[in-house]
Structure 1
Amino acid sequence: MSLLPVDDAIAAILQRVPAPTAERVPLSQAGGRVLAEPLIAAHDQPPFHASAMDGYALRAADVVEGHRLSLIGTSQAGAGFSGRVAPGEAVRIFTGAPVPEGADTVIMQEEALVDGSHVSFTAPARPGHSVRPRGNDFARGQQLIAPGTRMGAMQLSVAAAANSAILNVARRPRIALLATGDELVLPGDPLGPDQIVASNSYGLAPLLSPYAQSVDDHGIVGDERAKLRSKLADIFAGDLDILITTGGASVGDHDIVQELLLEMGVTLDFWRINMRPGKPLMFGTRGKTLVFGLPGNPVSAMVTAIVFIKPALRRWLGYAEPPTWRLPLAAATPPNTARRHFMRARLVHTPNGPQLEPIAQTDSGHTSSLGGANMLIIQPEGDPGQPAGTTIEALSIDAF
């Protein structure tokens, strides 16, 4: 069987992802969620002409040679002056307070000379100066935030200012993780002969949880058909949207995951990708459930999750695809094979700006090299290798 190109595999997965569906959540619970409908302003902000500083509100035309204006009141935030400013009058005003009717400018208090109930100014008056017009920030009916936007601190602040107590956000999928293999033991358990510590689920859960309603780790099941079938049946009986298995995705004598999934009604779209690490990636569906069979090698599992599962989750949420990073190399890359290489790398800051430093280790089971990686260099198929300074494409490992 020929190897499927990476781009074709991503396209096939995205075709299976359902359209985003919206749910309403309180603003206090919307952090990190993706907006499903545009946020529209329901009022003008500010809702009145407001002062941009502490000073005096007046008519600009009154500041002429020899002027002396009568102080007739005070306007402060939450308690505006209710009267009208007539010719020859001024109102003491504070930042954020409504500019009284009749006034068309504010002069800062440092440029004012107060004499009892009168005030004059050492600076000329300019109509509209230090006045924030009604709707200057946003106007009723204006779109403030587009759908597909992740609601971070800045966006939540805007939503609060727009008086949006409830937001329509994309429903997040429920994800199940299952590690397979007789050789695996849980972290903290003693290692027996020929055993290794299971690490994949402990990396996948935090990688995917920002996109998910829940990520349920179903632990480890060995390479025994009856136990694996029973575990898979229990998982499918639950209310899940995405199943991710690690290990057993190939077709060796002990790689039974694919065989059992097919027996249990999974329609397989593909299972071999022209990439490294991560060639034996499996993808299919069972009803509404997306099923990913990731390789068991830890680096392969994490790389395939970044390259294939994260784009699927972003599509699920209606979240716009981020642009591929383009950065110069801090060191040369070696020649590549006929498979696209997702090379571990670290982002380094240099006097000339950010650069990508390749990590030379290519073993798909070499977990310690993951600790220093925060980027994946995308090395094209058959690439002859690029010298330091060449601008290349990369994926961020940690970016949402």
Structure 2
Amino acid sequence: MASGDQNRRGTDAARPPLWPLETALERLLGAARPVGERESVRLDQALGRVLAAPLPSGVPLPGWDNSAMDGYAVRAADLPEPGRALRVTQRIPAGAVGVPVEPGCAARIFTGAPVPPGADAVVVQEVCVQDGDQVCVDATVRAGQNIRRAGEEIGVGTEVLAAGTRLAPQHLGMAAAVGAAELSVKRRLRVAILATGDELAMPGQPLAPGEIYNSNRFLLHSLLTTLGCEILDVGIVGDTLERTEAALAEGASAADLVLVSGGVSVGEEDHVRPALERLGRVDLWNLAIRPGKPLVFGHIIGDGVEIPVIGSPGNPVALFIVFCLLIRPFILRSQGVAGEVLPRPIWCEAGFDWPRPDKRREYVRARLQSGEFGVSGRPRVVVYPSRSSAMISSLVWAEGLAVIPEGQTLSAGEAVAFLPFSELLG
């Protein structure tokens, strides 16, 4: 090991200060470079993709004046007071087009059907009594009631979806409603993943003494799948500087982003940071959070391009938390998402005590107590009994993360921020 490496791995006093989470996020998001290439995909293939260009409407919504209720289309002038009777001359279901309504007449009409010419109001069926071809309207009627006007929701040419939208089911419904069969989206982000550690074995293989199964590979792969990434698996990397450097270079040669699990701390078998320094530069190292302190962010530089690399802890819980808090927002921004990419907490009531403050902000595996609300009316949250970042079973038990600010204690009944997995993984 070079003397520079030895100095770098010296005492805690010689190490640089830990990065606050907000500062680290600012650095990461500022370095994210959205992919530029785009492609056209069918609506049924667009879920989770990022819209590359604004979508204008080619049609008005609604396309015509239509009934907002089941009832009767009438001329308001024919019903100056309740109790008047009209002759029913036609029936207009959705998808049909009626004929003009003559004075003294009404049309039986159903929700979504075009309002026939001559009619200027729809009376709900609940205030009407039909007897044969006569209908008695027991209500005051005003012109325009219960009619959805053509284009009142969206006019032709109105932008209905903005570029940078990560497409959810409601967005695809909107696109279909204005007649779009295909959408222009950003190409998928290519992410290379690798796991470091001589102790790792793949599930299905017998374990040799000292080996463990490579759960991080499947954890990372599934997290990236939820984000719609194209995943390149570099595999398990042995604990040497040369192998780590070669694996990083391999991943960077084919991907937009390289993610590493393990090997990012300061032990003699942790080679990610020095390998990254050989290949490019380190921009950020070590976070002021628990778990998840060992994180490295930097770039591999070559042929005029810079490929970002994020090295995360090897313990699965720490890896999961670092991914949710930092890597996921970085990926979303790199995919071209223009809106908010950070998770939003909900405020709950602590169902636990936290008597000892920590220098680092703590993200504690937590869950809501079903049907339990505190005196504040907020839902009550409880935490997993162990703080170990190696216990992946705690993630199965949890429904989110309780946030304990640095330097603070907490007593049962006090307000606590809770990050549900629906925000961290959605």
TM-score by length of 2: 0.83
Cα 1:219–1:112 shift into 2, 3 Å: same
Unaligned runs of 5+ in 1: none
Query: Aligned partners of 1:29 and 1:161: how far apart in 2?
Result: 17
Query: Aligned partners of 1:261 and 1:148: how far apart in 2?
Result: 31
Alignment of 1:50-65 (within 5 A): 50-63=66-79
2:5 is aligned to: none
Q: Give the paired residue count.
A: 394
- The answer to whether the aligner puts 1:304 opposite 2:314 as a matched pair is no
Query: Aligned partners of 1:369 and 1:5: how far apart in 2?
Result: 25
| Counterpart amino acid of residue 377 in structure 1 | A
- The answer to whether the aligner puts 1:362 opposite 2:387 as a matched pair is yes
Query: Aligned partners of 1:233 and 1:290: how far apart in 2?
Result: 11
Q: Secondary structure at the match of 2:283?
A: strand
Cα 1:76–1:276 shift into 2, 3 Å: closer
Query: Aligned partners of 1:188 and 1:334: how far apart in 2?
Result: 43
Give the C-alpha shift of residue 172 in structure 1: 3.6
* Aligned residues of 1:39 and 1:144 also touching (Cα < 8 A): yes
2:363 to 333, 342, 351: 342
Cα 1:340–1:73 shift into 2, 3 Å: closer
Cα 1:320–1:64 shift into 2, 3 Å: closer
- The answer to whether the aligner puts 1:394 opposite 2:418 as a matched pair is yes
| Counterpart amino acid of residue 411 in structure 2 | P
2:92 to 75, 78, 96: 75
- The answer to whether the aligner puts 1:315 opposite 2:322 as a matched pair is no
| Counterpart amino acid of residue 79 in structure 1 | A
* Aligned residues of 2:372 and 2:380 also touching (Cα < 8 A): no
Q: Cα RMSD over matched residues? A: 2.6
| Counterpart amino acid of residue 211 in structure 2 | Q
Query: Aligned partners of 1:223 and 1:106: how far apart in 2?
Result: 76
Query: Aligned partners of 1:64 and 1:226: how far apart in 2?
Result: 90
- The answer to whether the aligner puts 1:267 opposite 2:281 as a matched pair is yes
Unaligned runs of 5+ in 2: 1-14
- The answer to whether the aligner puts 1:330 opposite 2:351 as a matched pair is yes
* Aligned residues of 2:48 and 2:166 also touching (Cα < 8 A): yes
| Counterpart amino acid of residue 295 in structure 2 | L
* Aligned residues of 2:87 and 2:135 also touching (Cα < 8 A): no
Give the C-alpha shift of residue 103 in structure 1: 0.9
Identity of aligned residues (%): 38
* Aligned residues of 1:54 and 1:109 also touching (Cα < 8 A): yes
Worse-superposed segment, 243-252 or 103-112: 103-112
Cα 1:47–1:230 shift into 2, 3 Å: same
Residue by residue, what CA displacement relative to the aligned partner does 1:238-262 show, whole Å, maximum 9, x if unpaired? 2x11111111112332222322232
* Aligned residues of 2:366 and 2:382 also touching (Cα < 8 A): yes
Give the C-alpha shift of residue 398 in structure 1: 4.4
Query: Aligned partners of 1:320 and 1:376: how far apart in 2?
Result: 19
| Counterpart amino acid of residue 389 in structure 2 | S
Give the C-alpha shift of residue 17 in structure 1: 0.1
* Aligned residues of 2:52 and 2:186 also touching (Cα < 8 A): yes
* Aligned residues of 1:225 and 1:256 also touching (Cα < 8 A): yes
Query: Aligned partners of 1:333 and 1:36: how far apart in 2?
Result: 46
* Aligned residues of 2:54 and 2:161 also touching (Cα < 8 A): yes
Residue by residue, what CA displacement relative to the aligned partner does 1:311-351 show, whole Å, maximum 9, x if unpaired? 21232222413433322211112323212222222233333
- The answer to whether the aligner puts 1:107 opposite 2:123 as a matched pair is yes
| Counterpart amino acid of residue 371 in structure 1 | V
* Aligned residues of 1:276 and 1:340 also touching (Cα < 8 A): yes
* Aligned residues of 1:56 and 1:92 also touching (Cα < 8 A): yes
Cα 1:107–1:319 shift into 2, 3 Å: closer
* Aligned residues of 1:20 and 1:36 also touching (Cα < 8 A): no
* Aligned residues of 2:49 and 2:228 also touching (Cα < 8 A): no
* Aligned residues of 2:88 and 2:135 also touching (Cα < 8 A): no
- The answer to whether the aligner puts 1:42 opposite 2:53 as a matched pair is no
Cα 1:56–1:304 shift into 2, 3 Å: closer
Cα 1:57–1:125 shift into 2, 3 Å: farther
Alignment of 1:191-340 (within 5 A): 191-238=207-254, 240-263=255-278, 265-286=279-300, 287-316=305-334, 317-321=337-341, 322-340=343-361
Worse-superposed segment, 229-238 or 157-166: 229-238
Give the C-alpha shift of residue 91 in structure 1: 3.1
Give the C-alpha shift of residue 170 in structure 1: 4.2
Give the C-alpha shift of residue 109 in structure 1: 5.1
Query: Aligned partners of 1:249 and 1:54: how far apart in 2?
Result: 65
* Aligned residues of 2:318 and 2:389 also touching (Cα < 8 A): yes
Give the C-alpha shift of residue 225 in structure 1: 4.3
Residue by residue, what CA displacement relative to the aligned partner does 1:152-208 show, whole Å, maximum 9, x if unpaired? 233322222122222344444111110111111112221211222221121122223
* Aligned residues of 1:36 and 1:318 also touching (Cα < 8 A): no
| Counterpart amino acid of residue 222 in structure 1 | G
Q: Secondary structure at the match of 1:215?
A: strand
2:28 is aligned to: 13
Residue by residue, what CA displacement relative to the aligned partner does 1:344-373 show, whole Å, maximum 9, x if unpaired? 222333332523212231222232222212
Q: Secondary structure at the match of 1:223?
A: coil
| Counterpart amino acid of residue 340 in structure 2 | A
Residue by residue, what CA displacement relative to the aligned partner does 1:121-170 show, whole Å, maximum 9, x if unpaired? 14245123332222343333444445554432333222221222223444
